[in-house]
Structure 1
C-alpha cells in the first residue's frame, strides 16, 4: 500500500517532467552544437575547426540513422511492446500467488525429489534467505538513493529533479553499469542549465558524494545479512545474463548470480557431510 501510494502520488509530476524534458531536447542539442563550434576559438591549440566539423558530421549521421530506425518500426516491434505489457500485468499476479501458496508449491516440488533430499532443502533455504534479503535491501536502497537525490537536486535548483532522482534510484538495480549510465543525463542537464559555473560543480560534487555514500555506507548496512558478491562476479553476471537475455537479463543478473552462489555454497557442505 505504501509503495502504491508513492507511485501514484509521484506519477503526475514524473509524467510532466518527462514531457518537458523530451520537448527540451532540441534546445539542448542546439546549445551543445553552439558550444562545440566555440571550442576552436577558446582552445585553438587543442582542437581545430576541421575536427569540430568532422564531429558535427558524425553526429548528424548518427542522428539521421537513429531517426530512420525509429520510423521503420515494424509490426513485430508493436507485438513485442504488447508482450512486454502483458508480462508487466502477469508478473505481479504470478508473484502474488507464489507468495500466497509458497509452502504448497515447495511441498509439490519436493515430491519429485528423492526421499533423501537434504541438499535440495539446504539449497532452497539458502536461496530463499539470500533472495529475500536482496529484494528487501534493493527496495530500500532505491528509496534512499531516490530521496537523497531528490532533496539534493531540489535544493540546488536542478531542472527535472524528480525525473533524474527516479532514474538515479532505479539505476541501483544494475550495479556499476547503472550508476555510470545515469550519470550522463545528470551531468548534461546540469551543464545545459548552468554551464561550468559554481552551481554545476556543487551539483556534481553532491551527486558524487551520494553515489559514494550509497556504495560504501548504505549498501553494507542494508546487505549485512547477504553474502556479498565480489565486484568481478557482479560485472561478469551482468555481462553474461545481459548477453543471453538482453535488458531483462541485466535487471535479473544479481538475483541469478545470488542463486548460483547459494547453490555453490550449499553443495560442498552436503558433499562433505559424513554418511
Structure 2
C-alpha cells in the first residue's frame, strides 16, 4: 500500500514538472517570436473587441460575413478619420516643438540648471558643456569601437526594422478581418480541447475574464479619448503652442494610473515657463489638469470603467512595466489581459481555498459530559422478572 502511494506521488511530481517545463518553453518561444507575434496579438484583440457587435448584428438576421463586413468597415473608417484628423495636427505640433527647441535649451541652461545648482549645491552645468562632451567622446573612442561601425550597424538594423514595421501594418487589417470572421470557430476549437470534467468551470472563468477585460478596455479607451481632447483643448485655451501635443500624450498615458496626469502637468508647466516665463500660465495648466482629474475621478471612470478589472493601480503599473521589460511592446499589449485573467483565477482560487478543509480546519469534537461517560461505562442492570415464579414440585 505504501509503495503504491509513493508511485502515485512520483507520477504527480513528474506531471507537474512536465507542465512547468512546457510553460517555461512557451514563455521562451514567446520571447523569441515577440516581433512577429505583435500584429497577430493586436489583430486578435481587435477581433475579440469587435466580436460582440458582430454577434449582435447576427441576432438581427444578418449573416456572419455581412456582420463582419459592416463591423470591419466601421473600424476602418474610424481609423482613417483619426489619421486624417490627427496626423496633420500632430505634424504641425512636432514642427512647432522642433522650432522651439532653442528656447527650451536656453531655458534649461540659463534658468533651470542654475536654479537647481543653487538649491542643491551640485555642479551640473559642467557636465552639459559641449567641449566637455566632445572630450568624453574622444576619450572613449577606442572603447566604443568606432562611431562609423556603430552608425552603419544602426542604419542596417533600422532599415530592417522599418521593413518589419511596414509589413506588420499591412498585415494588421487582413488579420483583423480573419479574426473577426472566425472568432467563434476559434473559441469552439479551444473549448473542444478542454477536458470534459473541467469544461463548466473553464467556460465560466473564461466568460468572466472576457467580460471584465472587455468592459475595462472599452471604457478605458473612451476615457483616454475624452481626456486627451479635454486636456488638448484646455491647454490650447491657456495659450500653449504645444498644448494639443501635450494633451494627446497625457490622454494616451492615462492608460497607466497616475502617469498620464503627472506627465501632462510636468510637460505643461515646462512649456508654460519656457513660452511665457510667468506663474499665471503655470496656474492655468494646473487648473486644466485639476478639472480633468475631478471629471475623471467622479464621472468618467465610475461611469465608463468602474472597478471592472479589479486590480490595484500599483498592480496595473507593475504589469505594464514587467510586460514591457520581458517581451517589449508585445508584453505591454499582453500585460493587462494576462493580469485580468490572473486576477479572475486568483479570485476563484481564493473562493476554493476559503471553502476548503485546509482553511476551515477539522470540525471540532463535541465535549461529552462526565455523567454520560460514567453512565455509558457502568454495567447494565439485571433485567427485571416479567413472569410468575415457577412452583417447584414437592
The question of a shared fold, defined as TM-score above 0.5 by the shorter chain, is answered with yes
Matched, 1:261 2:343: yes
Q: How many angstroms apart in 2 are the aligned matches of 1:232 and 1:167?
A: 21
Deviations 1:121-153 (A, max 9, x none): 112101211121122112211111012112211
Q: Give the counterpart of 2:237 among 149, 155, 158.
A: 155
Structure 1 Cα separation of the partners of residues 237 and 87 of structure 2: 21
Aligned-partner SS, 1:94: helix
SS in 1 for 2:241: coil
Matched residue count: 266
Q: 1:102 deviation in Å?
A: 1.7
- 1:263, distance to aligned residue in structure 2 (A): 2.7
Q: 1: distance between equivalents of 2:204 and 2:249?
A: 37
Query: Is residue 223 from structure 1 mapped to residue 305 from structure 2 by the alignment?
Result: yes
Measure the CA separation in 2 of the matches of 1:20 and 1:250. 30
What is aligned with 2:319? Answer: 237
The separation in 2 between residues aligned to 1:216 and 1:87, in whole angstroms, is 39
Q: CA deviation at 1:39?
A: 4.1
Query: Quick one: which of 189, 195, 199 aligns to 1:108?
Result: 189
2:133 and 2:200 map into 1 onto residues whose CA distance is 61
TM-score by length of 2: 0.58
Checking the alignment, whether the CA contact within 8 Å between 2:232 and 2:247 is kept in structure 1 is yes
2:93–2:242 contact (8 Å) kept in structure 1: yes
Match of 1:83 in 2: 164
Partner of 2:368: none
| Residue-by-residue CA offset, 1:225-269 (whole Å, 9 max, x unaligned) | 614311232232123212212344335422321121123334566
Bigger Rg over Cα: 2
Q: TM-score, normalised by structure 1?
A: 0.80
- Please, what is the CA RMSD of the aligned residues? 3.4
Q: Residue by residue, what CA displacement relative to the aligned partner does 1:87-131 show, whole Å, maximum 9, x if unpaired?
A: 344344333332332211111111211123112211210121112
Q: What residue ranges of structure 2 are gaps of 5+ in the alignment?
A: 1-76, 138-146, 357-394
Question: Match of 1:54?
Answer: 126
Cα contact 2:90–2:245 (8 A) shared by 1 = yes
CA separation of 1:167 and 1:98: change in aligned 2, threshold 3 A = same
Q: Does 1:171 align with 2:272?
A: no
Q: Distance in 2 between matches of 1:247 and 1:59?
A: 37
